[in-house]
């Protein structure tokens, strides 16, 4: 498959849908521009954004390590273990549309400090994770963990699945019928 194309099962980033996160995310109300911490009632508003698309979640994960410019975010996503499972294989257009939406939702913000122009390309835009964005990523991580726990409880995967650095596909639990 061409790296710029995706299959219909690719979810929110499927062709023609790269700029949509989820209906709730697209219509979510915006928080105040200055938020030192996540407001007490904001968890419900953030839960309305779930599930996050794989691309949105990967952007938030990349920014947990610190401020990044767009191309560095793309490199982090491509180097991540999630990308090994085919989460991200689109061009930069989908990335920058997602960044624009995350900015509008106040989940990320422009970085306050830029590197010295003599050390960096002045055209680069740097982004940072907001407290609201960190909380949204935490809520999504809990949601994903609950899904993994449900899969374990149903015997689809065992407790060590994916922990040895090998291919998760090779570690799937095989039942008596070979499935």
Q: What are the sequence ranges of the domains in the chain?
A: 8-29+39-131
pLDDT of residue 66: 94
Predicted confidence band of residue 131 (pLDDT cuts 50, 70, 90): very high
Taking the model in full, what pTM does it have?
0.69
pLDDT tens digit string along 37-66?
Answer: 677 678 999 999 999 998 999 999 999 999
pLDDT of residue 106: 97
Cα 1 to Cα 5, 6, 35, 89: the distances in Å are 7, 8, 43, 10
User: Which range has the worst mean pLDDT, 16-30, 38-52, 68-82?
Assistant: 16-30
pLDDT tens digit string along 2-11?
Answer: 434 433 333 3
Q: How far apart are CA 100 and CA 147, in angstroms?
A: 29
Omega of the bond leading into 115 within 30 degrees of 0 (cis):
no
User: What percent of the chain shows pLDDT beyond 90?
Assistant: 40
Residue 69 near residue 126, CB atoms below 8 Å: yes
Residue 42 near residue 132, CB atoms below 8 Å: yes
Topology at the third CATH level for domain 8-29+39-131:
Arc Repressor Mutant, subunit A (1.10.10)
Provide the angle, in degrees to the nearest 10, between the axes of the packed helices 54-63 and 70-79: 110
């Amino acid at each position: 498959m061409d790296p710029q194309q995706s299959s219909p099962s690719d979810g929110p980033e499927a062709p023609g849908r790269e700029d949509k996160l989820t209906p709730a995310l697209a219509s979510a109300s915006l928080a105040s521009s200055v938020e030192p911490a996540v407001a007490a009632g904001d968890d419900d508003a953030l839960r309305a954004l779930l599930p996050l698309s794989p691309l949105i979640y990967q952007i938030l994960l990349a920014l947990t390590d610190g401020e990044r410019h767009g191309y560095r975010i793309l490199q982090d996503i491509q180097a991540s273990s999630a990308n090994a499972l085919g989460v991200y294989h689109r061009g930069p257009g989908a990335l920058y549309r997602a960044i624009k939406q995350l900015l509008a939702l106040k989940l990320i913000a422009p970085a306050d400090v830029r590197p010295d122009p003599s050390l960096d390309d002045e055209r680069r835009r740097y982004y940072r994770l907001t407290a609201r964005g960190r909380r949204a990523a935490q809520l999504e991580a809990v949601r994903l963990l609950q899904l993994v726990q449900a899969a374990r409880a149903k015997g689809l995967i065992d407790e060590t699945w994916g922990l040895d650095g090998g291919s998760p596909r090779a570690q799937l639990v095989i039942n008596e019928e070979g499935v």
